[in-house]
Structure 1
Amino acid sequence: MARPRIYDDELRRRLLDTAAATVAAGGTDALNLRTMAQECETSTSAIYALFGSKPAVLAAVAQHSADSFATSQHAHAPAESGVADLRALGLAYRQWALDHPALFQLMFHPTFFAGLESPQLEDRSNDSIEPLRRAVRRAIAGGEIRFSDEQAAVLAMWGILHGMVTLEMGGIEPPAMQLSEKDWLGAFHAALAGWTTAPLF
């Protein structure tokens, strides 16, 4: 009996990235396994071996987006202050979105995760916000920002980060704004300035 073919992680990532781009552009109905296999120069047998079915591919894309985003946030090492942490996390948030536009679109799509009941996915999604929570907690404890409610501060900071990145990525009309990192930092600092208890520089 022939041994089953083994497909590597590199092919799996290519398939996930291709599926993410397809779904981001045309929704889940646009995903066709045969077309995906052709685009990745492989076979549908490889897709079935790695994932098992189209719903399993979609679930894997959701997990991939959550894992990728969480990894980018946890890669940040603590800086000299809570506000500096917030700045660094904001830049990491923006860079991840620029590097992975399809995953960004799916990660925060209001309906893509609907029906994907996965404790692992939920845990990873919750875990992705922990670096921001720690930075906010640190900034509050150090008296750097005018907040006493950690949850309110996290929501406010996240709203700023996500709103600015969404504007740049073209998530709403008018189309994407052409922002440099300097422009982005200036706007981010201006938003934070109202909450800080000392000059940012």
Structure 2
Amino acid sequence: MPYPAKLTPDAIAAQARVLLEGGGPDALNMRPLAEALGASPSSLYRHYGDRAALLTALNDDAARELRATLEAAARGLDPQAGLLAMARAYHAYARAHPHLYALLLDPARPYTAAPGPMKDLWNTVLGQVSAVTGQPDDTGATVAVWAFLHGHTLLFLGGQFGPSGDQGGFRRGLEALVRGLLAS
């Protein structure tokens, strides 16, 4: 196999993302990744110690990307409208990138409160929810919002609403949730 052009962590992660998004986590293995990059599998280990390290890098990239998406959705809006826009952007991101979304919330990858992209993502949602409720660091309300978003998103991605869709349930649930946040 010819020596590939400069192999970088970013190039490896970009190709890994292509494999992940194209076929889910089962499609992301070091040998097919190396083949797609025109490299030997052992050359990948210079940059990522193992598949788990590569998945962690993809998880971090997805968390940064989702955070930026949510921030852009809420930019310039009042807190309530911003939260509704963030929720729609969250759902749209998961629909557009279902395998990355699944990686973000994979129960096999337990969340830690350590600083990093996942904590930054949480803090973005926490800040927006707290702006709506007027309560600094309103963790309880943020958990409620995130649980609704994640639950609806998983039902949607799993096809649980059937051919008729959710019949506006996402919008109605979100609006009811925001009203409840304002009332508490």
TM-score by length of 2: 0.74
Q: Deviations over 1:127-161 (max 9, x none)?
A: 002222222222223xxxxx787121111111111
Return 5+ residue gaps in structure 2 as ranges. Answer: none
1:184 aligned to 164, 170, 183, which one? 170
Q: Distance in 2 between matches of 1:185 and 1:79?
A: 21
- What is the root-mean-square deviation in Å for CA atoms of aligned residues? 3.5
Alignment of 1:123-142 (within 5 A): 123-141=116-134
2:158 is the alignment partner of 1:161 = no
- Please give the secondary structure, in 2, of the residue aligned with 1:194: helix
2:140 is the alignment partner of 1:152 = yes
Q: Quote the offset at 1:90 in angstroms.
A: 0.1
Q: 1:177 to 1:164 in 2, by over 3 A?
A: farther
Q: Which residue of 2 aligns with 1:105?
A: 102
> Does the aligned pair in 1 maintain the 2:63–2:117 contact within 8 Å?
yes
2:38 is the alignment partner of 1:42 = yes
- Please give the secondary structure, in 1, of the residue aligned with 2:17: helix
- Please give the secondary structure, in 1, of the residue aligned with 2:65: helix
Return 5+ residue gaps in structure 1 as ranges. Answer: 142-146
1:58 aligned to 55, 58, 67, which one? 55
- Please give the secondary structure, in 1, of the residue aligned with 2:102: helix
Q: Which residue of 2 aligns with 1:5?
A: 5
Q: 1:177 to 1:123 in 2, by over 3 A?
A: farther
> Does the aligned pair in 2 maintain the 1:82–1:135 contact within 8 Å?
yes
- Please give the secondary structure, in 2, of the residue aligned with 1:76: helix
- The alignment of Structure 1 onto Structure 2 pairs a total of residues equal to 178
Return the letter of the residue paired with 2:15: R
Q: Deviations over 1:46-93 (max 9, x none)?
A: 634553543432332232232222232233343442211110110111
Q: Quote the offset at 1:168 in angstroms.
A: 0.8
TM-score by length of 1: 0.68
- Please give the secondary structure, in 2, of the residue aligned with 1:163: helix
Q: 1:181 to 1:126 in 2, by over 3 A?
A: farther
> Does the aligned pair in 1 maintain the 2:130–2:137 contact within 8 Å?
no
> Does the aligned pair in 2 maintain the 1:74–1:128 contact within 8 Å?
no
> Does the aligned pair in 2 maintain the 1:76–1:88 contact within 8 Å?
yes
Q: Distance in 1 between matches of 2:84 and 2:54?
A: 35
